[in-house]
Amino acid sequence: MILIIEDDERIASLVKMGLEEHGYQAMVAYDGQTGLRLAFNDDIELVITDIILPKTNGIDVCKEIKEKKPHLPVIMLTALGTTDDKVEGFDAGADDYLVKPFDFRELLVRIRALLKRNTAQAQPQAFLLKYGGLELNLHTKIVKREGRELSLTPKELKLLQYMLQNPERVLSRAEIAENVWETTFDTGTNFIDVYINYLRKKVDKDFTTKLIHTKPGLGFIFKQE
């Protein structure tokens, strides 16, 4: 079951109808409070939410969902499209972001990718990732460098995890977008660079050895230098 939280009845109806035509079950909430209540039903597999909503906005809705059901995928659907808006949505824990007006086929691609990720069998992996005095505990989500605990947002954690799992090789913006945000890289925005800078300030700023490096024209690399 897919939950649509959208106060514009026309848009909500069109999205619901489109999803049902493609074999999905869908339900609609027209305000944030109702959406939150419904999101915690056991049969909800994915949430699509607008940001500007009555009673409780989409950012707060997403934050509360991710606090209580961190593995429930959330797609932000909004008319706001600046880098700052995307960063705010991703900071709240959103798994993906679509700007209105959007191509419904693109929404379907995002939904399929998130549902596939959620239902795929988890691959065995080490719960403690280490590199260059930095360690990330995948169970507790605690990050430490040289024994000092670092405070990271959910998206910063996911970005760091991907870099730790792929050290010493160049990661393009497209690859990062696909594997960390599970979306295609929009060359019109620089949200990946924004997050790299956020992460660099927390992981590298107070340490002599730098781990996150930019490769002009190519992307980024995680290695000791």
CATH number, residue 72: 3.40.50.2300
Q: Quote the percentage of the chain above a pLDDT of 90.
A: 50
Domain check: are 86 and 150 in the same one?
no
- Check pLDDT > 50 for residue 164: yes
Domain check: are 106 and 196 in the same one?
no
The single-letter code of the amino acid at 204 is D
Question: Which domain, by its residues, includes 169?
Answer: 128-222
Number of domains observed in the structure of the chain: 2
Note whether 90 and 181 are within 8 A (CB): yes
Looking at 53, 87, 119, the residue that finishes a domain is 119
pTM assigned to the model: 0.57
Tens of pLDDT, residue by residue over 16-34, are 999 999 889 999 999 999 9
CATH number at residue 202: 1.10.10.10
**What local confidence, expressed as pLDDT, does residue 116 receive?**
81
224 compared with 120, residue with greater pLDDT: 224
Domain check: are 85 and 143 in the same one?
no
**What local confidence, expressed as pLDDT, does residue 214 receive?**
94
Domain check: are 98 and 153 in the same one?
no
Phi-psi region of 7 (alpha: psi -120 to 50; beta: other; left: phi over 0): alpha
Axis crossing angle, helix 191-203 with helix 154-165, rounded to the nearest 10: 80
CB burial string 47-58: b at 16+ within 10 A, e below: bbbbbebeebbb
Domain check: are 91 and 13 in the same one?
yes
Domain check: are 158 and 195 in the same one?
yes
Domain check: are 89 and 8 in the same one?
yes
Band of pLDDT at residue 122, cut at 50, 70 and 90: very low
Average of pLDDT values for 145-163?
A: 92
Looking at 119, 149, 180, the residue that finishes a domain is 119
**What local confidence, expressed as pLDDT, does residue 177 receive?**
87
| Residue labelled with tokens 């730098």 | 210
Note whether 206 and 149 are within 8 A (CB): no
Average of pLDDT values for 162-177?
A: 91
- Check pLDDT > 90 for residue 70: no
Q: Which residues contact 112 (CB under 8 A, 6 or more apart)?
A: none
Looking at 69, 87, 119, the residue that finishes a domain is 119
> Of 42-51, 183-192, 206-215, where does mean pLDDT reach its minimum?
183-192
Domain check: are 114 and 162 in the same one?
no
